[in-house]
Amino acid sequence: MLTIKDLSVKFPSRFGDFTAIEDVDMTIKPGEIHGLVGESGAGKSTVGAAVIGLLSSPGYIANGELSLGNTNLRTLTPDQAHDIRGDRISMIFQDPQTSLNPLMTIEDQLIETIQAHSDVSYADALKRAVDLLEEIGIKDAARRIKAYPHQFSGGMRQRVVIALAICTDPELIIADEPTTALDVAVQSQVLDLIRRLAKDRQIAFMLITHDIGVIAQIADRVTVMRKGRVMETGETAQVLGAPEHPYTRALMDAVPPLDHRIKRFRVPDEDGKGPVTGNAAEKWLLEGQQHALTGLTLTDICMRFRGPRTSLWRKPEPFVALNDVSLEVRPGSILGLVGESGSGKSTLAKAITGLITPSSGIMKLGDDILPDGKARGRKHPSRQLIQMVFQDPYSSLNSRHRIRDILTEPLWFYGFVPDAREREKLAAAMLELVGMQPDAIDKYPHQFSGGQRQRIAVARALLARPRFLICDEPTSALDVSIQAEILNLLKDLQAMFGLTILFISHNLAVVRQMADDTAVLRNGRIEEIGSTDSVFERPSADYTQNLLALTPVLPKAWQSTAVAG
């Protein structure tokens, strides 16, 4: 049983000590899955690192008690701590790609770990390793154990990482975002495995995650953290179902539900304060609307890339990224495009924007044929009419340019506003429209948070006066409360300016909230397309049904009571 009392961790810096976590209390009983939720910077991972004794230098434990069973973890010598790590406490990391050594077979890695902690012969260790792999659901383990990590799929690799973690029979496993890098179907298998291990082997799990759906699905107890402090702790059903702390309540409000659509997310500081109306940027955008609403039609888009060469003489098999994709984004509507990683969502976006040239198929913007990639000139009108909001707000803004330069670029580039001072005024007004202070214009991107940067990215897209907006995973790099704000903003802007939006996401719940129609993409093929309600409530394709069934959801009773639509 893990006991944490009044734990504080500090990082000394040139400007005094920075307190990463303060007064954290927590107990985890054997067999308990204890969820640790919070947004980025909440100090969740620091708690895990402090427990396992791997605080990154120069961090140190300033105060508090930390014990596992009868062992005081704070008074251990480095050698003793080393013996406990892996033996009594194990860790599962986020990315199975990098937590296994790519140059060692699974066998070597498992046996190395087993022999490091117990004095057994190679043959016995091998037998134990094979049994272990069988137990966590790897078939034909005796043969598969000879394989290298790259020969396993992502989910299998994460199973191997879990096998490594449990091969020494630890009392406690710290799982830091164990399913974040995995697709929904694999995630649910890994979560099942964790639950089974907790029950059968009585292992205590500290499950660190930002995903409240995951916590709701498997955690027995949950601790909510924010800015290094514990906000609320208790039984999962009680903390998430009837949150007492306002922060927990706000967090729950921001979680998009999967089974119904809400009009707007309730955001704490935004109450009653709708979007700014009547400002210069809004007028400017509205007067630019001579074009009617513009839809997009794709017919039989195929995208083939050259595959890996297997022989010097034979032509390599092409890799098909998109296979006869046909879809229509109705004028003035939002089409949600969902699919797992590698399904071709981003490839489709790139084809529409002309960054890549499809192998075949016809794209039409409104009534006009959209020339393919290379054939689309630099001056083609679609370069202005189609704009994009990217996934990663940290890389979509040029970090060496001021916000002023970033925002005024489309204005002079498309020749909308000849006067430099006018351009700047309009850019400032646009910042206001997307909910930022107009004085942000003098700053550089790194001075803003992810959510603010995404607002700036939206402002930049709007300053091109687009009629068609592509949002490629616009919120997947953001915390859930920031996601709610950005989704609200996009909804407001869409309603104000009648934009047609292609909304790409792997998150079904987000698409449910945003889209009028939904298309499900898998391995480059459209599995299902239809109105969002029908796709989510009466999915016809097996794949969609599966996806919906496996996505972790909050029990109905816990869901936020935000404005239902």
Partner 1 sequence: MIAFIKRYEGLWLFFHSPAAMIAAVVAVLIILGAIFAPWLALVNPYDLASFSLFDGLLPPVWEEGSNPKYLLGTDDQGRDMISSILYGARLSLVIGLSALTIAAVLGVGLGLAAGYYGGRFDAIVMRIADIQLALPAILTALLIDGIARGILPAAVQQDVRVAVLTLAIALSLWVNFARTARASTFVQMNKEYVQAAIMMGQRPSRVMFVHILPNILGPLLVIMTVDLASAILLEATLSFLGIGLPADSPSLGTLIRIGMQFLLSGEWWILWIPTLFLVALVVSINILGDFLRDVFNPRLR
Please report, as ranges, the residues that interact with partner 1 according to CB under 8 A.
Answer: 14-15, 353-355, 377-380, 383-384, 386, 388, 390-392, 395-401, 409-410, 413, 446-447, 460, 464
Least distance from C-beta 222 to partner 1, angstroms?
Answer: 30
Q: Which helix (H) or strand (E) holds 47?
A: helix 44-52
Nearer to partner 1, 460 or 512 (CB): 460
Residues 6+ apart with CB under 8 A from 536: 258, 259, 508, 512, 518, 548
Q: Are strands 517-522 and 334-338 parallel, antiparallel or unpaired?
A: parallel
Nearer to partner 1, 113 or 396 (CB): 396
Nearer to partner 1, 447 or 531 (CB): 447
Least distance from C-beta 350 to partner 1, angstroms?
Answer: 8
Residue 290 CB neighbour total at 10 angstroms = 6
Nearer to partner 1, 256 or 410 (CB): 410
CA pair distance 211, 205, nearest whole angstrom: 16
CA pair distance 537, 518, nearest whole angstrom: 12
Least distance from C-beta 8 to partner 1, angstroms?
Answer: 20
CA pair distance 543, 537, nearest whole angstrom: 14
Nearer to partner 1, 212 or 471 (CB): 471
Nearer to partner 1, 41 or 137 (CB): 41
DSSP type of residue 262: B
Distances (CA, A) of 214 to 310, 410, 515: 41, 41, 24
Nearer to partner 1, 242 or 369 (CB): 369
Q: Which helix (H) or strand (E) holds 526?
A: strand 525-531
Nearer to partner 1, 378 or 556 (CB): 378
Residue in the structure block whose two tokens are 């260790």: 125
Distances (CA, A) of 146 to 137, 167, 403: 16, 17, 54
DSSP type of residue 85: B
Nearer to partner 1, 448 or 536 (CB): 448
Least distance from C-beta 506 to partner 1, angstroms?
Answer: 17
What does 306-362 look like in DSSP terms, one character per residue?
A: -----SSSSPPPPEEEEEEEEEEE-TT-EEEEE--TTSSHHHHHHHHHTSS--SEEE
Nearer to partner 1, 80 or 98 (CB): 98
CA pair distance 545, 542, nearest whole angstrom: 5
Least distance from C-beta 474 to partner 1, angstroms?
Answer: 11
CA pair distance 324, 321, nearest whole angstrom: 10
Rounded to 10°, the helix 106-117/154-166 angle is: 20
Nearer to partner 1, 314 or 378 (CB): 378
Helix (H, G, I), strand (E, B) or coil at 432: helix
The backbone torsions φ and ψ at residue 29, rounded to the nearest 5 degrees and listed phi first, read -85, 155
Torsion of the alpha carbons at 125, 126, 131 and 135, rounded to the nearest 10: 90
Least distance from C-beta 426 to partner 1, angstroms?
Answer: 17
CA pair distance 484, 487, nearest whole angstrom: 5
- Asked whether the beta carbons of 268 and 250 are under 8 A apart, the reply is yes
